[in-house]
A and B are shown apart, each in its own frame.
Chain A
Amino acid sequence: MAPSLDFTIALIPIAPFLAAFLAPWVHKFTGQYAGWILAIIPASVFVYLLNFIQLIASGSFVSTALEWVPSYGLNFSFFLDGLSLTFALLISGIGTIIVIYSGKYLKGHKHQGRFLAFILMFMGSMLGLVLADNMVVLFIFWELTSITSFLLIGFDHARQASRRAAIQALVVTGGGGLALLVGVILLQQVLGVWELSALRNYGQILQEQAIFPVILILFILAAFTKSAQFPFHFWLPNAMEAPTPVSAFLHSATMVKAGVYLLARMNPVLGANEIWTITLVAFGSITLLWGATWALRQSDMKQMLAQTTVASLGLLVILIGIGTDIAIAAMVIYLIAHALYKATLFLVAGIIDHGTGTREITELGGMMKLMPLTFIVAAVAAISMAGFPPAVGFFAKEEMYLALAQMEWHTIAVLIVLILGNAMMLVVGAAIAIKPFFGGLKATSIKPHDGSLALIIGPVIFGVAALSAGVFVKEFGDIFISPTASAIYNLEVENHLKWYLGMFLKPIILLSVLTWVIGGLLFWKFDEVRKILRRVDESFKWDFDIGFDWLMFGLIRFADKVTRIWHHGRLEIYMIVVFISLGVASILPLILTNSLPPVPDMPDLTFYEWGVFVMAVAGLVSVLLAKTRLVAIVSLGIQGFAVALIFLLFGAPDLAFTQFMVETLTVVILALVMTRLYLDKRDRRRFEDILRDGGLAVICGVGLMVLLMAVLQTPIDLRLSEFFAATSVPIAHGHNIVNVILVDYRGLDTFGEIAVVMAAGVSILALIRIRAGGPQTGIGAPKKSARKNITRKTTTRKKPAVKKQVSKAVAAKVATKVAVRAKAVEKNVSQKSAKTKAASKAKVVSKTKTVSKAKVASKPKTASKPKVAGKVKTKGKTKAKKGVAK
C-alpha cells in the first residue's frame, strides 16, 4: 500500500476554480455555447481521474503535499484512494453534465456567466473536499462548499424566499463547519497528525482517550448539518429555491453527500463503538422515515425529490452506522446509484418545468407522446430508484437487506425502517416517471416539448450508466465498490456482486418483493395518502423551519438587548465605567494577593527636585481652582511639563523631549476642541458631581501609584538592558538606545503602533467631520459640482440636530485626547523601561547604579499621581457640562 506521489492531483481542485474565473468571459463571447465549452474542464478532470482506476483498484493510493505552514506542520496535501476517487468521479462526471445542462437551462439569463462561475467554483471546492488529506485543508474546502452553495441557492437574489433559503443553508452548514474545525483541532491535539491518510490506524488509541466522545459528537454534528440529518434536515427542502441544475448537483448528488463522505472517511478512526452506531442508526432512521413521509405529502416535483434526498441521506447514514463490511459495500452502491438516479430525476423535473411551465405533479399528465425521450430517462431512473433489476439500484437494495439479515430484534427494527423508507421512495420515483406521462393530457401554459440535446444528454448518460452498472455488476463491483468500501472499512472488502440465477431464489429476495408490494399499494392510493399527510401537516402549528426563524430572530433580539445595555450612548457613563475599571484593576489584584507595597521612606531630594515637585502640585491645584475651562487645560499643561522636567533630571532626555511635545500638543488640541464645543466658558457642577468625579480621580490616581510602587518592589531584571547596552552599537549601529529599540529591536511593535496612530487619526477625523457636515477639502471632499447640494443638505439638517452634534463633538474631543495620551503613555512606557535602566548606565556615566535606581523609585510616585488625577478632572468637567447643555 505504498502511496505513489503525483503532484498533478493537487491541480484537480484548482482547475475548476480557474475555469470559474474565465466563465463570465467565455459566456460573454460564446453566448449559448458557453456551457459546452466550459464543460471541457470538468470533463477533462473526469477523464484524467479515470486513469487512476487501475491503480486504485489494485489497493494503492496516490498522494501529494505542498508545504504550507511548516511551523505548525501544516501541508497543503491531497490524496486519492478508493473513496475519494469514487466521489471525485461522481463530482466531475455529474458536474460536466450540469454545466452543459445549465448552458441551455439558463439561456438568456443575464447572469448566466456568473451562474456558471459559481457552479465551477463549487465543483472545485467539492473536489478539494474529497481529495483533501490534511484536515485543515478539508475544513477549508468544506466551508467553501457551504459558501458556494449559499451563492447558488441565493442566485435568484431578487426573491426573498431564495435569500432566506440561502442564509438558512449557510447558517446550518456553516455552523456545522465550525464544529468540524473544533473537532479537527482536538483530534490533532490528541493524535498529533493532520493527515487523514495517517489517521486511519489510530482508531484504537483515540477511542481510549477521555475526550473521544467530544470529538465524535463534533464530527457527527458537522456531518449531520451538511447532510441534512434530523433535526437539521429543514434547510435542504428550502434549498430547492435554487435553479434546478443546482438542486440536481449540490443538493442531491454531491454537496449533501459531503457529510456522508466525512462519516465514511472517519469510520476507521471514530467508528465501531456504541455511541457511533446508536447515534447514526437512530438519527438516520428518523431522517429516512421523516423525509420519505414528507416526500409523499408534496406535489411539487422538486420538493418531492428534495424530501426523498433527505430520506436517502438518512439511509446512507444508517448503513455507515451499522458498519459491517456488507453494510459499507451497500452504502457505496447506494451512494452511486442514488447520485445517478436522483440527478436524472431532478434534471427531468427541470426539463418538464422548462417544457411545460409547471412542476406541480397534479397539473401534469398524458405527455408521453409529446416528451417521449424524457419519459424513457425518467422511467429508467425510477426503475433504479425502486430497485428493480437490472438497474444498479437493485443491488443497492439487496445488499442493504443482506447487511441486516441477522435475526436479532434491533436489526429487524432497522430492517422495517429500511423497507418502509424504500417503499415510500419507490412511490415518489414512480409518481414522477408515471403521473406526468400517462392519463389524459392536461393543459399547461407552454405546449409540452422534449428538451434539446444539452438538456437531455445528461439524463440519457446517467440512465445508461445506471443500467450498465447493474448489468456489468461484477466489473462495477471490482472497480468501484471494493476499493471504496475497503477505504471506508479499513480492511479489504471482497466484491461478491454478480448475476446468477440462484439469487432470485434466496429468501432475501422476499424483502425486495415486500418493498415493491408496499410501494405498489401506496402508489395505488397516492392521492389519498397525500391528502391525509397534508391534513396532518396542517394540524401542526410548529415545524423546524419556524423553529429556525424563531431562533434567528431571538438571537437578533438578544443581541439588540445586549447592545442597548452596553451601548447606551451616554458618554459620561462610559467614562465612569472605564475609570472605575482602571482603578479597580490596578488596586484589587494587589489587595487580593496581599502584595500592597510598603509606604516608602521620605526621598532625599535636592532643592531643584523639590522645585519641580512643587511646580507639578501647583499645576494640579490650579486645575482644581481654575474658573474657566481654558485655564484648567493650560494648568494641566504645567503639571505635564513638570513631569517632563523630572524625566530630564533623571537622565531620560528622549522621554522628556517627547513629553514636552506631547504636553504642548495636548494643550493646543484640547484648546482647539474647546472652541468647537457648545459649552459655557465656566465649569459649574453640582456637589454630587464633584464628589463623583473627584472620587474617580482619586481612585485612578491611587491605583496607578500603588501599581507603580508595587512594580518597583520587585528587583529590576537588567539582562535585557545589558543586552541592549552591549549590542546597540556593534549590531544596530546606533548610540541612542531608545531610538534603536524603537526602530530596530522592536521595529515590529513600532510598525503596529504607527498603524494604530494612523487608524486613530482616521477615526478622529471622521468624528470631527460628521459634525462639520462632511469634509470640505482634502480626502473625501465632494466634487465641486456636488458640493452645493451637500452644503444645502447639511444646513437644513443642522438645526434640529444640535443636541446630537454636541454629544458627537464631545466624543471627538475625548477621542483626540485619548489618542494623544495613549501615544504618550505608550512611548513613555517603552522608553522608560529601557531608557531609565540602560541609558542611564550607558550614557550618564557620572551617576552610579544605586543612585539612579533609588531615583527611579521616587519618580513615579511624585509624577504619576497628580497627572492622572488632573486628567480625570477635566474629563469630569466636560461630562457635567454636557448634562447642563442638555
Chain B
Amino acid sequence: MNTIIFRTIAPFLVAIMVVFSVFVLLRGHNEPGGGFIGGLIAASAIAIYGIAAGVSEVRKALKIDPLAIAGFGLFIAGLAGLLSLGAEAPFLTGLWTYFEIGNAKVALSSVLIFDIGVYLVVLGTISAIALALEENEEGE
C-alpha cells in the first residue's frame, strides 16, 4: 500500500482534500455539502496522510491533538447556540448579518459557526480514531 508513488502524491492530495472539505463546508447552506460531510472529507485526508507519512508526522503537522479539535468544535457549536440568548431568542436560533465586500454580498451567521463546530467535531473524532489505529504498538 505504501508505495513511493502514493507517498509522493499524498501531500498534494491531502492539501486538495482539505481545501475541498472547507469548500464543501462553506457551500453547505445552499448546495450539497455541510459540516458533517466536510468533516468526513478532512478526516479522510488526515487518515491518508497518516498512512503515507506516518502518524508522528501528522501529529507534528496538526500541532493540536485531534481530540482537542473535536472538543473545540463542540464548544463553539454550543457557543453558537448561546449567541442567540444575547438576542433574547431561544437557544440555537439562527442569527444572520450581511456584509458588502466590494460587489459581493457575504452572509455571516451563527448557523455557520455551528456548522463549523460540527465540521471540527467530525474531523477531530474520526481522525483521532484513525490515527490511533495507524499507530502501531511502539507508538509509531
Whether the Cβ atoms of A778 and B67 lie closer than 8 Å is yes
Whether the Cβ atoms of A816 and B139 lie closer than 8 Å is no
The reply to whether the CB of B71 lies closer than 8 angstroms to some CB of chain A is yes
Tell me which of A669, A772, A777 has the highest count of chain B C-beta atoms within 10 A of its own C-beta: A777
CA distance A778 to B128 in the complex (A): 10
Cβ proximity bits B56-90 to A, threshold 8 Å, 1 near / 0 not: 10010000011110110110011001000000000
When distances are taken between beta carbons in the complex, the residues of chain A under 8 Å from B133 are: 669, 672-673, 675-676, 768, 816
The reply to whether the CB of A734 lies closer than 8 angstroms to some CB of chain B is yes
The reply to whether the CB of B137 lies closer than 8 angstroms to some CB of chain A is yes
Stretch at the interface among A659-667, A687-695, A860-868: A659-667
The reply to whether the CB of B52 lies closer than 8 angstroms to some CB of chain A is no
When distances are taken between beta carbons in the complex, the residues of chain B under 8 Å from A820 are: 126
Whether the Cβ atoms of A776 and B135 lie closer than 8 Å is yes
Whether the Cβ atoms of B111 and A743 lie closer than 8 Å is yes
Complex A-B, nearest 9 residue pairs according to Cβ-Cβ distance, in ascending order: A776-B139, A761-B125, A661-B40, A672-B133, A734-B29, A778-B65, A747-B92, A735-B30, A754-B121
Q: Which residues of B contact A (CB under 8 A)?
A: 28-37, 40-41, 43-44, 47, 56, 59, 65-68, 70-71, 73-74, 77-78, 81, 91-92, 94, 96, 107, 109, 111, 114-115, 117-118, 121-122, 124-126, 128-130, 132-137, 139
Tell me which of B47, B81, B126, B136 has the highest count of chain A C-beta atoms within 10 A of its own C-beta: B126
Pick from B30, B41, B81, B130: contact of A668, CB under 8 Å: B130
Nearest residue (CB) in A for B134 is: A672
Whether the Cβ atoms of A658 and B117 lie closer than 8 Å is no
When distances are taken between beta carbons in the complex, the residues of chain B under 8 Å from A816 are: 129, 133
Whether the Cβ atoms of B47 and A777 lie closer than 8 Å is no
Nearest residue (CB) in B for A750 is: B118
Taking A748-B81, A778-B66 as known contacts, 6 extra A-B pairs with beta carbons closer than 8 A to each other, sorted by chain A number, are: A661-B40, A665-B47, A672-B134, A732-B94, A739-B28, A761-B128
CA distance A577 to B118 in the complex (A): 33
Whether the Cβ atoms of A734 and B126 lie closer than 8 Å is no
Given A751-B92, A765-B129, verify A661-B115 contact (CB < 8 Å): no
The reply to whether the CB of A757 lies closer than 8 angstroms to some CB of chain B is yes
Tell me which of A676, A742, A757, A779 has the highest count of chain B C-beta atoms within 10 A of its own C-beta: A757
Whether the Cβ atoms of A664 and B33 lie closer than 8 Å is no
The reply to whether the CB of A156 lies closer than 8 angstroms to some CB of chain B is no
When distances are taken between beta carbons in the complex, the residues of chain B under 8 Å from A772 are: 132, 135, 137, 139
CA distance A664 to B77 in the complex (A): 26
Whether the Cβ atoms of B67 and A765 lie closer than 8 Å is yes
When distances are taken between beta carbons in the complex, the residues of chain B under 8 Å from A734 are: 29-30, 111
When distances are taken between beta carbons in the complex, the residues of chain A under 8 Å from B43 are: 665
Given A658-B36, A765-B67, A778-B59, verify A747-B81 contact (CB < 8 Å): yes
When distances are taken between beta carbons in the complex, the residues of chain A under 8 Å from B74 are: 754-755, 758
Whether the Cβ atoms of B40 and A662 lie closer than 8 Å is yes
When distances are taken between beta carbons in the complex, the residues of chain B under 8 Å from A819 are: 129
Cβ proximity bits A758-772 to B, threshold 8 Å, 1 near / 0 not: 101110110011001
CA distance A742 to B38 in the complex (A): 14
When distances are taken between beta carbons in the complex, the residues of chain A under 8 Å from B32 are: 653-654, 657, 736, 738
CA distance A657 to B40 in the complex (A): 10
The reply to whether the CB of A799 lies closer than 8 angstroms to some CB of chain B is no
The reply to whether the CB of A525 lies closer than 8 angstroms to some CB of chain B is no
Pick from B44, B121, B134: contact of A757, CB under 8 Å: B121
The reply to whether the CB of A708 lies closer than 8 angstroms to some CB of chain B is no
Question: What total count of A-B pairs have CB within 8 Å?
Answer: 158
Nearest residue (CB) in A for B48 is: A668
The reply to whether the CB of A740 lies closer than 8 angstroms to some CB of chain B is yes
When distances are taken between beta carbons in the complex, the residues of chain A under 8 Å from B66 are: 778
CA distance A408 to B14 in the complex (A): 96
29 of the cross-chain contacts (CB-CB < 8 Å) are: A657-B32, A657-B33, A661-B41, A661-B44, A669-B129, A672-B130, A676-B133, A732-B111, A738-B34, A739-B33, A742-B34, A743-B118, A747-B114, A750-B114, A751-B77, A751-B92, A754-B77, A757-B122, A758-B73, A758-B121, A758-B125, A761-B124, A762-B67, A765-B129, A768-B133, A769-B132, A776-B139, A779-B67, A820-B126
Given A757-B121, A777-B139, verify A736-B44 contact (CB < 8 Å): no
When distances are taken between beta carbons in the complex, the residues of chain B under 8 Å from A735 are: 29-31
When distances are taken between beta carbons in the complex, the residues of chain B under 8 Å from A758 are: 70-71, 73-74, 121, 124-125
The reply to whether the CB of A871 lies closer than 8 angstroms to some CB of chain B is no
Whether the Cβ atoms of B134 and A743 lie closer than 8 Å is no
Whether the Cβ atoms of B73 and A765 lie closer than 8 Å is no
CA distance A764 to B128 in the complex (A): 9
When distances are taken between beta carbons in the complex, the residues of chain A under 8 Å from B41 are: 661
Nearest residue (CB) in A for B116 is: A743
Whether the Cβ atoms of B40 and A658 lie closer than 8 Å is yes
Whether the Cβ atoms of B34 and A669 lie closer than 8 Å is no
CA distance A653 to B27 in the complex (A): 14
The reply to whether the CB of A827 lies closer than 8 angstroms to some CB of chain B is yes
Tell me which of B36, B43, B56, B130 has the highest count of chain A C-beta atoms within 10 A of its own C-beta: B36
Q: How far is the CB of B34 from chain A (nearest CB, A)?
A: 4
Nearest residue (CB) in B for A676 is: B133
Within 8 A of B (CB), among A817-832: 819-820, 827
CA distance A284 to B31 in the complex (A): 75
Whether the Cβ atoms of B81 and A751 lie closer than 8 Å is yes
Pick from A665, A672, A740: contact of B29, CB under 8 Å: A740
CA distance A819 to B47 in the complex (A): 17
Cβ proximity bits A398-409 to B, threshold 8 Å, 1 near / 0 not: 000000000000
CA distance A665 to B47 in the complex (A): 9
Whether the Cβ atoms of A744 and B139 lie closer than 8 Å is no
When distances are taken between beta carbons in the complex, the residues of chain A under 8 Å from B139 are: 772, 776-777
CA distance A748 to B109 in the complex (A): 16
When distances are taken between beta carbons in the complex, the residues of chain A under 8 Å from B118 are: 742-743, 750, 754
Whether the Cβ atoms of B132 and A744 lie closer than 8 Å is no
Nearest residue (CB) in A for B118 is: A754
Q: How far is the CB of A732 from chain B (nearest CB, A)?
A: 6
Q: How far is the CB of B108 from chain A (nearest CB, A)?
A: 11
Whether the Cβ atoms of A736 and B37 lie closer than 8 Å is no
When distances are taken between beta carbons in the complex, the residues of chain A under 8 Å from B126 are: 665, 761, 820
Nearest residue (CB) in A for B112 is: A743
Given A747-B81, A761-B126, A816-B129, verify A733-B33 contact (CB < 8 Å): no
Pick from A661, A748, A755: contact of B92, CB under 8 Å: A748
When distances are taken between beta carbons in the complex, the residues of chain B under 8 Å from A769 are: 132
Q: How far is the CB of B6 from chain A (nearest CB, A)?
A: 13
CA distance A683 to B121 in the complex (A): 35
Pick from A658, A669, A733, A751: contact of B37, CB under 8 Å: A658
Pick from A733, A739, A761: contact of B34, CB under 8 Å: A739
Nearest residue (CB) in A for B139 is: A776
Whether the Cβ atoms of A739 and B56 lie closer than 8 Å is no
The reply to whether the CB of A3 lies closer than 8 angstroms to some CB of chain B is no
The reply to whether the CB of A773 lies closer than 8 angstroms to some CB of chain B is yes
Whether the Cβ atoms of A765 and B132 lie closer than 8 Å is yes
Whether the Cβ atoms of B59 and A743 lie closer than 8 Å is no
CA distance A764 to B40 in the complex (A): 17
